[in-house]
A and B are shown apart, each in its own frame.
Chain A
Amino acid sequence: MFDYYNLEPLLMWIHRTMCGIMPEWLAFTIEGIAVGIFIMVMYAVLAIILIYMERKVCAAFQCRIGPDRVGGRGGLLQVPADVIKILTKEIIFLKNSDKFLYALAPFLVIMASILTFSCLPWNKGGEILHMNIGIFFVLAASSIGVLGILLAGWSSNSKYTLIGAVRSGAMIISYELSIGISVLTMVILCGTMDIQEIVAYQENGWNIFKGHLPAVMAFIIYLIAGNAEANRAPFDLAEAEQELTAGYHTEYSGMHFGFFYLAEYLNLFITAGIAVTLFLGGWMPLHIAGLEGFNAVMDYIPGVIWFVGKTFFVVFLLMWIRWTFPRLRIDQVLILEWKYLMPLSLLVLIIMTVMKVFGLVF
């Protein structure tokens, strides 16, 4: 077993050292604040990277160059410049909106996103929120987001936002079923809900290989449903620009809008991250059973690079879909879920259970 990059001993050492020079409650408090700041910084940095990536990827699909002025030929400073711009914008409150709910909504959305974000397994011992029902917690926390969207649509007191919110509510609640079932499929395969243990289970082969047929199907279902959860095209009807101008966040401005925007991009990353955790081994390097030398070489690459690399690959897949397909209509979205995806994911769940019971998985 390789352990070069295990973060746990380092973190435990820091904790012990701090407890040695101060009371334990103070150490916990300081550590909590440090981790919180770390999450915020990671969150912002990742958002900037993702927005930049989206711009460049979509430019490539659309025969364009993308940002190329601000910050050298690559336009590297374009997104930071946009972030600074949006920070200086006025936050507008509308006359007939419900002020409290209107202000609360973006925070609910971003809170759900950050909670889910904290559960991602970055590295061995590098998970911020670690609990034995981790994946269940992810599902629970991510559903808070839809509440924020509904509140945003309702409190803005506009017809467009209301239609957007209702669409979003109907869609996200429907697709959570498929996500839940496909996650459950993998939980059955791994026999645990603990995210670190799910990753550890994939030491001698990623789940998508170990679970073969049902795992591949669950992976595809997860990608489709995850795309819908992240409100991205072809499932972006909640903010369908051409129909509802901007859907549920039409009336938001400044950083309030920025929160929705940030959350949208990080949800993309989180969707991809959970997909990687469940199907592609999380931070686990590529291991092929029987090839010891190959496995040992792979182990020299740090887990965090594996995780981020795989996640960005899945993010690229999702962007590819987004920039290729036109948008679905609300009834088609719901038909797709209730008539096709949900029955199919239940079927996959049964197949997986049967195969696990009879030992037909690797």
Chain B
Amino acid sequence: MTADNIILVKAEDLYNEASRLRYDEAQPMDYLRDIVGMDWGEEGLGALYYMECTATGERRVLKAVAADRENAFLPSVCSLWKTAVIKEREVFDFFGIRFTGNPDMRRLFLREDWKGYPLRKDYDMDSNPLNMENEVNADVTEEYTLRPDGTIEGRENVVFGSEDFVVNIGPQHPSTHGVLRMRTSIDGENIKRIDPILGYIHRGIEKMNESLTYPQTLTLTDRLDYLSAHQNRHALCMCIEQAAGIEISERAQYIRTIMDELQRIDSHLLFYSCLVMDMGGLTPFFYGFREREMILDIMEETTGGRLIQNYNVIGGVQADIHPDFRRKVKEFIAHLRKVIKDYHDIFTGNVIARQRLIGVGVLSREDAISLGATGGTGRASGWSNDVRKHHPYAMYGKVDFREITRTEGDSFARYMVRMDEIMESCHIIEQLIDNIPEGEVRVKTKAIIKLPEGNFSTSVESSRGEFGVMLESHGDKYPYRLHYRSTGLPLVDTMDTVCRGQKIADLIAIGGTLDFVIPDIDR
């Protein structure tokens, strides 16, 4: 792979250029993968817009720079892609770029009283001493609009009015799967609006990356989405290897692919357990954990870790597979094929489960693409978005597997997509497990890895969607900026669209089927 091809546009032309690409006749760029904020120092603050055409898989990158550091403004693209609302909030939070036309310019991860913008290169690390005061959440957001004469006008939008009955779901709540907080206004049992408040487990991983060498940055990937630890690390290794021109052995490719798929099964089993428990069925919860335990045991033998595995390294994998690995994986798959029937018997066919899931929380295909809800969620809405199919990497181009898609877009479709993907992952592993070629598992790399200048990006299909790595190198042994496309952030953003008008109990079930992991959102 060569460096990304970046089209530079002027700040004032950004909206028109984005709009032209979005509604292009031949290749409409209808899926905005990510917006990556950047601080180019002298050149100014700005953002990279990664977009993709869902029909052809063609990708484009736009770059826009706001020259004035103190009053950085860019036009918002949230009328073209819904996901831009929350992505632009993230950029604002870290870089202080205000987006004119975005209705919601609050901070996303940091406290509302945070001083400064931490991902700017001139940020003073001592400017925010530990604050023990309670954070007060504002019920209004700021919106900026550009007047024709070039001046900026601000106004306030109301999130929750005084007549709203706002229930705080999270951050300490059994069913938010981590420290997610959703301020939910309800009318009786019906949901009127959900406002997700993020950042309770924000660790500043992207900031930390800027002072770590490339091999060191790997450590943090497993801590993003811990149920996609292998895939996340795979993406970063791939990005660095491709940028540095490191060829890795076929054996390592096989092992990485098998590990990714094992991880996917692990994650989907946990999805099943958690969804069922969220809906009040505690018995099937233990079924999922019973089988997941076997996967963790298999992984532990080879990688030494169960949750945080640190297995992929630049140039291959950390260690060769355990001698029992093949046999145990085959035994496990045979076992899983046998017991999966129990899963369906106790839950899928259950009349209450079907009542609770079918037709609930429908996400249309257009919304799924516009909100960037990748992974099983998008596929359940009929959006074929499997990175393994559309941009094959590792061994995925050579194995035969089906991309599971459904058209209903409801909770049940999201559930069934994941259940079917478990079987598809088994199928992939079965094709690879007996054919792992002999050879090195790790090629020698230089002690200090320096990447050539440029922007590099890779994406993989993690357990819950497209996980992307966007890297800008200035030729150093440290990345100038290393951004991860969170799989969960667009999914949480989807909650408000999907849950409106549903019941509180549905909120929990829908949250379960969207399947997000909080550390991955907050980073």
Contact = CB atoms under 8 A, between A and B. Distances in A.
13 contacts: A63-B287, A159-B165, A163-B167, A242-B508, A245-B173, A324-B346, A326-B280, A326-B347, A326-B356, A327-B279, A327-B281, A328-B356, A331-B503
A327 B352 contact: yes
B503 A330 contact: yes
Given A330-B189, A330-B503, A233 B355 contact: no
Given A243-B504, A328-B352, 8 more contacts: A62-B286, A243-B507, A244-B504, A325-B281, A326-B352, A329-B505, A330-B505, A332-B355
Given A243-B504, A330-B505, A324 B283 contact: yes
Contacts of B505: 237, 240, 243, 327, 329-330
Nearest to A330: B189
B282 interface: yes
A201 interface: no
Contacts of A329: 355-356, 503, 505-506
Contact of B283 (A241, A242, A323): A323
Interface of B: 165, 167-168, 173-175, 189, 276-283, 285-287, 290, 346-347, 350, 352-353, 355-356, 503-508
A4 interface: no
Contact of B280 (A234, A330, A332): A234
A62 B290 CA distance: 10
Contacts of B282: 58, 62, 323
Contacts of A325: 280-281, 350, 352
A233 B286 contact: no
Nearest to B505: A329
A241 B175 CA distance: 9
The number of chain A residues touching the other chain, given as a range, is 20 to 34
A26 to B, nearest CB: 53
Interface of A: 58, 61-64, 159-160, 163, 167, 233-234, 236-237, 240-245, 323-332
A242 B279 contact: yes
Nearest to B168: A159
Contacts of B356: 326-329, 332
A323 B347 CA distance: 12
A242 B175 contact: yes
Nearest to A236: B280
Nearest to B290: A63
- Sort A-B residue pairs by CB-CB distance and give the 5 closest, nearest first: A327-B280, A326-B281, A326-B279, A62-B286, A242-B175
Contacts of B287: 63
A61 B277 CA distance: 15
Contacts of B346: 324
Contacts of A245: 173-174
Contacts of B279: 242, 326-327
Contacts of A163: 167, 189, 504
A321 B504 CA distance: 24
Nearest to B184: A159
Contacts of A160: 167
Residue among A58, A62, A160, A243 with most chain B CB within 10 A: A243
Given A63-B286, A327-B352, A242 B504 contact: no
Contacts of A61: 283
Nearest to B502: A329
A196 to B, nearest CB: 39
Nearest to B167: A159
Nearest to B504: A243
B484 to A, nearest CB: 29
A326 B350 contact: yes
A326 B353 contact: yes
A62 B189 CA distance: 32
B411 to A, nearest CB: 12
A240 B283 contact: no
B178 to A, nearest CB: 14
Residue among A237, A245, A326 with most chain B CB within 10 A: A326
Nearest to B174: A242
Contacts of B167: 159-160, 163
Contacts of A241: 174, 280
A57 B265 CA distance: 30
Contacts of B504: 163, 243-244
A160 B355 CA distance: 24
Nearest to B165: A159
A327 to B, nearest CB: 3
Contacts of A236: 280
Residue among B276, B282, B356 with most chain A CB within 10 A: B282
A233 B277 CA distance: 12
B143 to A, nearest CB: 29
A58 B282 CA distance: 9
A56 to B, nearest CB: 14
Contacts of B280: 233-234, 236, 240-242, 325-327
Nearest to B353: A326
B336 to A, nearest CB: 15
A116 B347 CA distance: 36
A331 B189 contact: yes
A234 B352 contact: yes
A274 to B, nearest CB: 25
A62 B175 contact: no
Contacts of B278: 242
A131 B334 CA distance: 63
B283 A62 contact: yes
Residue among A58, A160, A245, A324 with most chain B CB within 10 A: A324
Nearest to B172: A245
Residue among B168, B283, B286, B503 with most chain A CB within 10 A: B283
Contacts of A242: 174-175, 277-280, 508
A243 B347 CA distance: 19
B310 to A, nearest CB: 31
Contacts of B503: 329-331
A167 B346 CA distance: 27
Nearest to B360: A329
A330 B167 CA distance: 17
B300 to A, nearest CB: 21
A64 B286 CA distance: 9
Contacts of A323: 282-283
A241 B276 CA distance: 13
A160 B173 CA distance: 11
Nearest to A324: B283
B182 to A, nearest CB: 12
Contacts of B189: 163, 167, 330-331
A323 B282 CA distance: 7
A140 to B, nearest CB: 29
A237 B352 CA distance: 14
B260 to A, nearest CB: 28
A243 B191 CA distance: 13
A54 to B, nearest CB: 12
A244 B167 CA distance: 10
Contact of B175 (A243, A326, A331): A243
Residue among B285, B290, B355 with most chain A CB within 10 A: B355
A243 B508 contact: yes
A58 to B, nearest CB: 7
Contacts of A331: 189, 503
Contacts of B355: 328-329, 332
Contacts of B506: 329
A245 B168 CA distance: 12
